[in-house]
Amino acid sequence: MGVPILSCCLLMASLAPWAAAAEPAGCAKVIVSADPDYPPLHWYDGKTLRGPSVELAARVLSDLQIPHEVRYVGPWKRVLANAAAGAVDLVATLKIQPERERYLEFVRTPAFPNPVAVFVDRQRAFIFNHWGDLAQHRGGISLGNTFGTEFSQYAASHLQLEESGTADTNFRKLGLGRIDYFVVGLFTGETYLARHGLGARFMAMRPFLTEDKNYFAFSKSSPCVKYHDAFEARLKELVAGKTNIAMLNASLQGLDIKLDVASLSRK
């Protein structure tokens, strides 16, 4: 004898709230993407996105049993455009900036340290204790890079800072003496030097220019943003156990970058 239609409807209605709690409407899986050219935190190897940012995102989502896919979507600007449109659900990882907060819901627990450094030719090093020490020198910065509102405003008013090309362009200019220093993320700069065997020629000066950090961010246009709080709670636990630092260490060692991440000084 069949089950009455009314009973079936009541049963389905009673299960609906549980289904909604288990999976936010429209979020079949979380699409994760990242800057394809930002080693050692994340990069594209020609087949897939790699690095500790991607590994940590996958670890958190797996621990929460949330379906996900790491997807390469193209250059960094395209990643951000996709996130703004909701085609990328989770960006792993990036700096917090006011313009990005318009379309991204940042997870406020820092995922990784990401200090910004002043790189110089060892043979032409100069005293650097604060931003003012840069005023009498010519500096370089890669196209599209920004390192916080405060430094950007200071640089516009007080520094001779040329924006051009990539890390490769600027390290070449530094070697030729066309600029006196190059401002770039510590890890990005050290990765370039390690890959090209130039660590003996150039160095990152201390103190760092800024003590930046990188964060995960959900797209505000994505239904998967409902996972934000659960993601942050699990991330906090992993960060407390230094899982993020272990992943970063492994990436640094894999790229032959010898840094002590406790003090972030070159060994």
What sign results for the dihedral spanned by CA atoms 37, 267, 121, 137? Answer: positive
What string of DSSP letters covers 81-114? HHHHHTSS-EEEEE---TTGGGTEEE-SS--EE-
pLDDT at 184 over 70: yes
For the question of whether the overall pTM of this predicted structure is more than 0.85, the answer is: no
Domains along the chain? 25-113+213-266 (3.40.190.10), 116-204 (3.40.190.10)
Q: What is the pLDDT of residues 21-56, one digit of tens each?
A: 344 468 999 999 999 988 889 999 999 999 999 999
Mean pLDDT (the chain, rounded):
88
What's the average model confidence in pLDDT over 117-133?
97
Q: Inter-axis angle of helices 228-240 and 52-63, to 10 degrees?
A: 110
pLDDT at 5 over 80: no
Structure tokens at 164: 């051009």
Look at residue 3 in the predicted model and tell me its pLDDT. Answer: 43
Task: Please answer whether residues 104 and 219 qualify as being in contact, where contact means their C-beta atoms are separated by less than 8 angstroms.
Answer: yes
Structure tokens at 83: 């996130």
Q: How far apart, in Å, are the Cα atoms of 140 and each of 110, 172, 183, 197, 203? A: 28, 11, 6, 21, 15
Q: Characterize 35-47 residue by residue with b for buried, 16 or more Cβ atoms within 10 angstroms of its Cβ, and e for exposed.
A: bbebbbbbbbeee
Look at residue 4 in the predicted model and tell me its pLDDT. Answer: 47
- pLDDT level of residue 236 (50, 70, 90 thresholds): very high
